[in-house]
C-alpha cells in the first residue's frame, strides 16, 4: 500500500468516526430522555416508547439505514446520505442506551432521596446533584460498551453509498488488486478506536465500583 | 423567643392502607431537650419521626417546627415542594442505614446542602463542615469516600451532615441499630456530646442506657398510641403503665 492508499483509509476512518461520534453524542442524551419519560409513566407516550425501543432494538442496522434513506422522500423529507446514516445510528443506539439508563434509574436507592429531602433539597436539586452524577457513573460502562458496538456496526451505512472505513478498502483493492493489506489496515484502525473505548470503560468501571456500598 | 418549642405535635394521626399506625399523638419538645422514643417494632416510632419532617404525610393533626407549621400553609393548603423543602431544612435527620451519598467525599457530603440549599459560599461551608467533622471525630477522613468507612464512621459523618444545616431539631431514626456492637459506643458518645452542647434531639432507639442517661423525656409508643411520657427516672423505675413495666423487664 502506498501513501495514497493510507490517505484514503484515514479519510474512511474519519467518516466512520464523525458519523458514529455524532450518533453516539445524540444517542446518549436521547436515551436518557427516553428513560426519563418512561420513568414518568405517561399513558400512551409510555406505550409508544416501548414500541420504539423494541422495534429499534430488533431491526438490523442495515435494514434501518436503508429504510430511513429510502422512505424519507416519500415522507417529504430531503435527507442526504450522511444525515440518514446519523439518524439511523442514533435511533438504534438511543434505544439501547435508554435501557442502560433505565436500569440505573430502577436500581437507585430510595434512601438517598430521603436523605436529600431531609436536608432540605427539592426533588429537582436531588436529581441534578445526587442522582444524575451517580447514574452517569453506573451507566458509563454499559454506555461505552454500546458505543463500541455502534462503531463496529457502522459499516452498515455503506449500503447507502457512504465510503466508511470498511467500504474504502474495496476502493483501494479496485486499484491495487491486493485485498488483504487494506482490510488488515482497516482492522487495525478499528482496534485502535475500540481500544480507546475499552480503556475508557475500564476506568468507568473502577469509578462505578466506588458507588457500590 | 426562647419559649417557642422546637417541635410541637398535636393530635397527629397516620394510617397505612387502613391500618392506623399513629393515633392522636401529642408531644412537645423544648429547645435543648433530648426526647427518646421507645417501643417495640411496629409501634409507629419511625413513622412518628418521619412525619415530623413530612417524609410521611400525616392524615390528621399538626406539626410545628420552631413555631412554623410544616406541610400545610397559612391558607390551609398543602405546601408546594419548595416551601416544604425550606421547612425540612430546619430539621436534620440521621437514618438507620446512614444514607450517605456515595459519589461525594465525606467533606462534600457535609458541605452539599449548605451550599446547594442555603446558597452558602463554598469556603464558608468548608470551614463549617471541617468544624463539624472535628466534633464527630472524622476530620482526618474528610477526603475519603463513604465506601472506605466503617458503619460507625459513616453514621458519625451522617450526624455531621445533619448538623451542617443548623437545624432546630435533629431526628435520629434508630441510629445504632445497623452497627456492629463494638461500633455502637462511638456513635452514642457523639450523641451524648451533642446533647451536652444543647442540641435538640428526638431519638428513636433501643438503647435503654442511652435513653436513661441522656434524655429529658422518654415516651413509649404501643400500637400507634403514646401510652407513657415521663422523665427518665420515673420511666425506668416507676412507669405508670403496666405495658412499659413488662417492656422494661424484657429489655
ipTM for this model? 0.93
> Which CATH number covers residue A43?
1.10.3720.10
Residues of B with Cβ-Cβ distance to A211 under 8 angstroms: 102-103, 147
Give Cβ neighbours of residue B227 (< 8 Å, ≥ 6 apart).
Answer: B220, B221, B241, B243, B244
Helix orientation angle between A81-106 and A3-39, rounded to the nearest 10 degrees: 40
- Annotate A124-178 with DSSP letters as a single string: HHHIIIIIHHHHHHHHHHHHHHHHHHHHHHGGGGGGGT---TTHHHHHHHHHHS-
pLDDT at residue number B102 = 94
Contact of B157 with B106, CB cutoff 8 Å: yes
Alpha-carbon distances of A79 from A18, A22, A76, A82, rounded to whole Å: 17, 16, 9, 8
Q: Grid coordinates 463496529 are at which residue?
A: A152
**What average pLDDT does this structure show over A139-159?**
93
pLDDT at residue number A78 = 85
Question: Helix, strand, coil % (nearest 5) of chain B?
Answer: 40, 25, 35
pLDDT at residue number B66 = 94
Q: pLDDT tens digits, residue range A70-92?
A: 999 898 888 899 999 999 999 99
Q: Is the CB of B145 inside 8 Å of chain A's CB atoms? A: yes
Residues of A with Cβ-Cβ distance to B146 under 8 angstroms: 213
C-alpha distance from B242 to closest chain A C-alpha (Å):
36
Q: Name the fold adopted by B1-90+171-251.
A: Rossmann fold (3.40.50)
Instruction: Extract the residue ranges of chain B whose pLDDT is less than 50.
Output: 1
Closest by Cβ to A112, choosing from B101, B147, B171: B101
Contact call for B88 and A117, based on CB within 8 A: yes
For residue A84, the number of C-alpha atoms closer than 13 Å in the C-beta half-sphere is 25
C-alpha distance from A43 to closest chain B C-alpha (Å):
24
The alpha carbon of residue B69 and the mean position of all alpha carbons in its chain are separated, in whole angstroms, by 18
The answer, yes or no, to whether residue A179 has pLDDT greater than 80, is: yes
Question: Nine-digit cell at B124?
Answer: 464558608
pLDDT at residue number A67 = 94
Pairing, β B217-222 against β B34-38: parallel
Residue B183 to residue A115: CA distance in whole angstroms = 22
Residue A176 to residue A191: CA distance in whole angstroms = 24
| Whole-model pTM over 0.90 | no
Domain boundaries, chain B: 1-90+171-251, 102-166
Q: Grid coordinates 478499528 are at which residue?
A: A190
**Total domains in the fold of chain A:** 1
- A 103-132 near B (Cβ less than 8 A): 109, 111-112, 114-123, 125, 129-130
Contact call for A114 and B95, based on CB within 8 A: yes
Domain that holds residue A199: 3-209
Q: How confident is the model at residue A201 (pLDDT cuts 50, 70, 90)?
A: confident
The answer, yes or no, to whether residue A36 has pLDDT greater than 60, is: yes
Burial B185-217, CB ≥16 within 10 A → b, else e: ebbbebbeebbeeebbbbbbbebbebbeebbbb
The answer, yes or no, to whether residue A209 has pLDDT greater than 80, is: no
Q: Is the CB of B108 inside 8 Å of chain A's CB atoms? A: no
Amino acid at each position: 500500500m502506498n501513501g495514497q492508499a493510507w490517505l484514503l483509509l484515514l479519510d474512511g476512518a474519519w467518516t466512520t468516526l464523525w458519523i458514529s461520534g455524532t450518533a453516539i453524542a445524540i444517542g446518549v442524551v436521547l436515551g436518557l430522555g427516553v428513560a426519563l419519560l418512561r420513568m414518568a409513566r405517561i399513558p400512551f407516550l409510555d406505550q409508544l416508547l416501548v414500541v420504539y425501543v423494541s422495534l429499534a432494538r430488533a431491526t438490523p442496522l442495515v435494514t434501518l439505514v436503508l429504510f430511513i434513506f429510502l422512505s424519507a422522500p416519500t415522507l417529504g423529507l430531503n435527507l442526504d446520505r450522511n444525515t440518514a446514516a446519523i439518524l439511523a445510528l442514533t435511533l438504534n443506539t438511543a434505544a439501547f442506551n435508554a435501557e442502560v439508563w433505565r436500569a440505573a434509574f430502577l436500581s437507585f436507592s430510595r434512601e438517598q432521596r430521603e436523605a436529600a429531602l431531609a436536608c432540605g433539597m427539592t426533588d429537582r436539586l436531588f436529581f441534578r446533584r445526587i442522582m444524575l452524577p451517580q447514574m452517569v457513573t453506573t451507566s458509563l460502562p454499559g454506555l461505552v460498551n454500546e458505543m463500541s458496538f455502534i462503531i463496529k456496526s457502522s459499516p452498515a451505512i455503506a449500503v447507502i453509498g457512504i465510503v466508511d472505513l470498511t467500504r474504502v478498502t474495496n476502493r483501494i483493492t479496485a486499484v491495487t488488486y491486493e485485498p488483504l493489506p487494506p482490510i488488515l489496515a482497516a482492522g487495525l484502525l478499528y482496534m485502535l478506536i475500540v481500544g480507546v473505548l475499552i480503556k475508557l470503560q475500564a476506568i468507568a468501571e473502577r469509578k462505578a465500583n466506588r458507588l457500590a456500598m | 423567643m426562647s419559649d417557642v418549642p422546637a417541635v410541637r405535635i398535636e393530635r397527629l394521626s397516620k394510617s397505612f392502607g387502613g391500618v392506623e399506625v399513629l393515633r392522636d399523638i401529642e408531644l412537645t419538645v423544648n429547645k435543648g431537650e433530648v426526647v427518646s422514643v421507645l417501643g417495640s417494632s411496629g409501634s409507629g416510632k419511625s413513622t412518628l419521626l418521619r412525619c415530623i419532617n413530612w417524609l410521611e404525610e400525616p392524615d390528621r393533626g399538626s406539626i410545628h417546627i420552631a413555631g412554623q407549621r410544616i406541610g400545610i400553609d397559612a391558607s390551609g393548603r398543602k405546601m408546594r415542594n419548595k416551601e416544604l423543602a425550606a421547612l425540612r431544612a430546619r430539621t436534620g435527620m440521621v437514618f438507620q442505614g446512614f444514607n450517605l451519598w456515595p459519589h461525594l467525599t465525606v467533606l462534600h457530603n457535609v458541605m452539599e446542602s449548605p451550599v446547594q440549599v442555603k446558597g452558602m459560599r463554598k469556603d464558608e461551608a468548608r470551614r463549617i463542615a471541617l468544624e463539624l467533622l472535628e466534633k464527630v471525630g472524622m476530620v482526618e477522613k474528610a477526603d475519603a469516600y463513604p465506601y472506605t468507612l466503617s458503619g460507625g464512621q459513616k453514621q458519625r459523618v451522617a450526624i455531621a451532615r445533619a448538623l451542617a444545616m443548623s437545624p432546630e431539631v435533629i431526628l435520629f431514626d434508630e441510629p445504632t441499630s445497623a452497627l456492629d456492637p463494638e461500633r455502637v459506643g462511638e456513635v452514642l458518645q457523639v450523641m451524648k456530646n451533642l446533647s451536652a452542647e444543647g442540641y435538640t434531639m428526638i431519638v428513636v432507639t433501643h438503647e435503654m442506657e442511652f435513653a436513661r442517661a441522656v434524655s429529658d423525656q422518654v415516651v413509649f409508643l404501643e400500637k400507634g398510641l403514646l401510652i407513657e411520657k415521663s422523665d427518665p427516672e420515673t420511666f425506668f423505675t416507676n412507669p405508670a403503665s403496666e405495658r412499659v413495666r413488662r417492656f422494661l423487664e424484657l429489655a
